[in-house]
């Protein structure tokens, strides 16, 4: 294509929201199947079977896999070699409005003090749109619906620089205190460094990674979390978490921000790339 327009962007956004809400990426499905096959507790196996059946029904019927369709978080990568002559924020917001009606989505966006519901999943600061710039002549838009059950169990702590060895304890304690509330098995995103808000954004973005993409540090955290025995839906078992992803950023000499963003088993996200053609 040679020219982006608001309608094209809005329709593309509606499409990826539908994709994210009704189906999971293959890495999540494989991780859930692997967890089921490794469980020895009958109740844990039953919970994982129910989750996998739920995923299959949602995919086959193209309906949301969870009644909490979340708030819409977007990560937008813009190619440095393109010129955008449109209101990109407005087009994304329109796509959210369209998706709310067509899928449909539960209206989740409320004014924080009055609790007035906008009715279309948009409002001041929502959807949450995060921009970054990359090489190329394309725009890639990724949506990550985030439900409240897992989001409410997330935490942030401003550790001291001397407390690097307490990061592991903080992460594991956060999961322990969450228990079954975030609908485990969970994916745990950890942001280390940056600033107060940067660490939280790192933690949330890390949830987009393939579940098998873990280094030794992340595997060690995963083992510690799974040793808690919380298990699927908090009813006991070997699998409390499917993955732990850590993202880091340089920080101030006097601070050590650490954020833990917990995601339920429905690790929903989908992307679209809008290519700009050559003249």
State pLDDT tens for residues 103-149. Answer: 999 999 999 999 999 999 999 999 999 999 999 999 999 999 999 99
Structure tokens at 23: 């189906």
DSSP string, 93-143: HHHHHHHHHHTT-----B-TTT--B-SSS-BTTBSEEEEEEESSSEEEEEE
| Cβ(211)–Cβ(242) below 8 Å | yes
**pLDDT for res 4:** 86
Angstrom distance (rounded) from CA 199 to CA 166: 16
| pTM for the structure as a whole | 0.95
Question: Comparing C-alpha atoms, which of 253, 224, 226 is closest to residue 237?
Answer: 226
Phi, psi of 205 (to 5 degrees): -65, -35
What burial class does residue 213 get, using C-beta atoms within 10 Å of its C-beta: 0-12 exposed, 13-18 middle, 19+ buried? exposed
Backbone dihedral region for residue 54 (phi beyond 0: left; psi -120 to 50: alpha; all else: beta): alpha
Q: Return mean pLDDT, the chain.
A: 96
Q: Which residues contact 140 (CB under 8 A, 6 or more apart)?
A: 76, 77, 134, 271, 272, 273, 274
How is the chain split among helix, strand and coil, in percent rounded to 5?
40, 25, 35
pLDDT at 279: 46
Which residues of the chain register pLDDT less than 50? 1, 278-279
Q: What is the pLDDT, as a whole number, of residue 277?
A: 59
pLDDT value, residue 2:
52
Report DSSP letters for 188-237, one per residue: EEEEEES-HHHHHHHHHHHTTS-TT---HHHHHHHHHHHTT---GGGS--
Q: Rounded distance, CA 103 to CA 105, Å?
A: 6
C-alpha–C-alpha distance, residues 83 and 94, integer Å:
21
Residue positions counted in the chain? 279
């Amino acid at each position: 294509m040679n020219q982006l327009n608001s309608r094209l962007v809005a329709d593309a956004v509606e499409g990826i929201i539908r994709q994210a809400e009704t189906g999971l990426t293959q890495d999540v499905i494989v991780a859930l199947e692997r967890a089921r096959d490794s469980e020895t507790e009958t109740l844990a196996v039953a919970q994982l079977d129910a989750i996998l059946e739920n995923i299959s029904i949602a995919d086959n019927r193209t309906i949301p896999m969870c009644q909490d369709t979340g708030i819409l978080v977007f990560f937008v990568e813009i190619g440095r070699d393109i010129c955008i002559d449109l209101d990109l924020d407005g087009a994304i917001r329109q796509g959210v409005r369209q998706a709310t009606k067509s899928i449909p989505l539960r209206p989740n966006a409320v004014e924080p003090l009055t609790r007035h519901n906008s009715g279309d999943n948009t409002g001041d600061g929502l959807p949450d749109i995060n921009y970054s710039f990359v090489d190329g002549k394309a725009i890639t838009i990724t949506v990550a619906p985030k439900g409240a059950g897992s989001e409410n169990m997330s935490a942030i702590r401003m550790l001291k620089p001397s407390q690097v060895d307490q990061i592991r304890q903080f992460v594991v304690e956060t999961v322990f205190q969450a228990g079954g509330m975030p609908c485990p098995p969970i994916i745990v995103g950890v942001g280390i460094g940056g600033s107060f808000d940067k660490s939280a954004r790192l933690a949330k973005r890390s949830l987009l990674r393939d579940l098998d993409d873990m280094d030794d540090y992340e595997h060690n955290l995963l083992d510690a979390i799974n040793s808690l025995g919380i298990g699927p839906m908090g009813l006991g078992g070997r699998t409390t978490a499917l993955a732990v992803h850590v993202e880091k950023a340089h920080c101030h000499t006097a601070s050590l921000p650490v954020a833990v963003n917990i995601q339920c088993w429905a690790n929903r996200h989908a992307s679209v790339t809008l290519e700009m053609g050559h003249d």
